[in-house]
């Protein structure tokens, strides 16, 4: 049985704004043959202020589809059309205190119905550019189409890369077989073969993702050892950590950055600020704690703390900061601060 939040149940058992608005002047009709949901959204828009005065829904779909429709109408009533168009499917899911990953498409349908209704009001034709495939990664709700497209667009060749780019496979790892099958298929289209050993996964898993250090041979060995996993006390000098899929920086950019200290710190702050909404969407957050040379220490909070993917997220943050600064830095969890000091 699905683990629906109490809010989802409330909106399913007692839906708000069910039924069509009699004098609607904006109608959106969307559906998905594959998942068998369909939604008809009727709005009454005040032509002078372009404010949504009333909203009604009719939904053919499961419990969460009905709850998402109900939530959508509650959210948008009283909004201007422009405001309403800013409502994302995540907003709908958040309003319902979350949806199971497999059910996120129900909230997508709500957003699409809204776009369709606004287009209808404006005399435009709305077309759906959203293609949905079978759910592959259930931990992070990543579907087959997204994985395929990401592999093609970024020329990926390993499960680790797919995880890095899409999150798929970063949780329980049960979908790795499925991801390998997609890789095999997509690579075959390009006349390539999927090699399970290819890609950056040469170093032990924990070390690679926990730090995601760009190659920096000048770093003292001891520092690296402290931040490798606690359960992997290395006896010999650790193997060179594989590079995280590092941004492609030109040779000149790799040399000393030209920013002043203050500008550099501000830039790092800005980058982290720009990432935070993404994490907050997943009910997590990140905070800048300190900067020591090339080491940037952050604290993962909320859902990010203890998340199996925290390390991958760190890698992603690092990649962004490297891009924005034009220099190679490491992003480390704040816990590593004392040990590397």
**Residues known to be catalytic:** 35, 106
Judged by CB, which is closer to another protein: 35, or 216? 35
- Beta carbon of residue 74, minimum distance to another protein (angstroms, whole number): 15
Inter-residue contact 257 to 325 (CB < 8 Å): yes
Determine the longest span between alpha carbons in the chain, in angstroms: 76
What residues contact 137, with CB distance under 8 A and at least 6 apart?
166, 167, 168, 169, 170, 171, 175, 179
- Beta carbon of residue 119, minimum distance to another protein (angstroms, whole number): 10
- Beta carbon of residue 80, minimum distance to another protein (angstroms, whole number): 24
Contacting positions for another protein (CB under 8 A): 2, 9, 12-13, 15, 18-19, 29-40, 57-66, 102-103, 105, 112, 116, 126-128, 130-132, 134-135, 138
Judged by CB, which is closer to another protein: 20, or 341? 20
- Beta carbon of residue 134, minimum distance to another protein (angstroms, whole number): 6
Per-residue b or e along 168-203, where b marks 16 or more CB atoms closer than 10 Å to that residue's CB: bbbbeeebbebbbebbeebbeeeeeebeeebbbbeb
Inter-residue contact 116 to 29 (CB < 8 Å): yes
- In sequence order, which ranges of 158-309 are alpha helices (DSSP H)? 159-166, 176-189, 205-211, 221-227, 251-254, 261-281
Judged by CB, which is closer to another protein: 13, or 266? 13
* CA–CA distance, 133 with 108 (Å, rounded to integer): 13
Residues in the chain: 341
CA distances from 319 to 21, 52, 331 (A): 49, 42, 9
Judged by CB, which is closer to another protein: 66, or 321? 66
- Beta carbon of residue 28, minimum distance to another protein (angstroms, whole number): 9
* CA–CA distance, 110 with 226 (Å, rounded to integer): 48
Q: Number of C-alpha atoms within 13 angstroms, CB side, residue 27?
A: 10
Judged by CB, which is closer to another protein: 107, or 340? 107
CA-wise closest residue to 242 among 287, 198, 182: 198
Judged by CB, which is closer to another protein: 66, or 268? 66
- Beta carbon of residue 128, minimum distance to another protein (angstroms, whole number): 5
* CA–CA distance, 138 with 170 (Å, rounded to integer): 10
- Beta carbon of residue 102, minimum distance to another protein (angstroms, whole number): 5
CA-wise closest residue to 209 among 248, 167, 242: 242
Judged by CB, which is closer to another protein: 9, or 44? 9
């Amino acid at each position: 049985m699905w683990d629906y939040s109490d809010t989802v149940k409330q909106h399913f058992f007692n839906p708000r704004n069910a039924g069509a608005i009699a004098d609607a002047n904006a109608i959106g009709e969307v559906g998905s043959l594959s998942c068998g949901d369909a939604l008809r959204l009727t709005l009454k828009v005040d032509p002078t202020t372009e404010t949504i005065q009333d909203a009604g829904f009719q939904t053919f779909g499961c419990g969460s589809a009905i709850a998402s429709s109900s939530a959508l109408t509650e959210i948008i009533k009283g909004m201007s059309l422009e405001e309403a168009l800013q409502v994302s499917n995540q907003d709908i899911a958040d309003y319902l205190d979350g949806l199971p990953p497999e059910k996120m498409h129900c909230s997508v349908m709500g957003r699409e119905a809204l776009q369709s209704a606004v287009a209808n009001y404006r005399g435009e034709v709305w077309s759906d550019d959203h293609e949905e495939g079978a759910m592959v990664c259930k931990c992070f709700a990543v579907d087959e189409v997204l994985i395929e497209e990401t592999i093609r667009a970024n020329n990926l060749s390993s499960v680790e890369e797919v995880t890095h780019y899409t999150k798929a496979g970063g949780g329980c790892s049960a979908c790795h077989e499925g991801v390998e099958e997609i890789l095999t298929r997509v690579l075959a289209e390009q006349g390539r073969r999927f090699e399970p050993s290819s890609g950056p996964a040469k170093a032990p898993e924990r070390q690679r993702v926990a730090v995601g250090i760009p190659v920096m041979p000048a770093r003292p060995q001891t520092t690296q050892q402290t931040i490798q996993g606690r359960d992997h006390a290395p006896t010999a000098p650790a193997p060179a950590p594989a590079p995280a899929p590092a941004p492609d920086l030109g040779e000149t950019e790799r040399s000393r950055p030209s920013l002043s200290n203050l500008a550099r710190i501000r830039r790092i702050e800005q980058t982290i600020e720009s990432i935070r909404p993404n994490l907050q969407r997943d009910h997590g957050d990140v905070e800048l704690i300190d900067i020591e040379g090339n080491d940037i220490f952050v604290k993962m909070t909320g859902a990010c703390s203890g998340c199996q993917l925290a390390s991958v997220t760190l890698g992603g943050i690092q990649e962004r900061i490297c891009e924005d600064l034009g220099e190679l830095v490491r992003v480390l969890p704040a816990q590593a601060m004392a040990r590397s000091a």
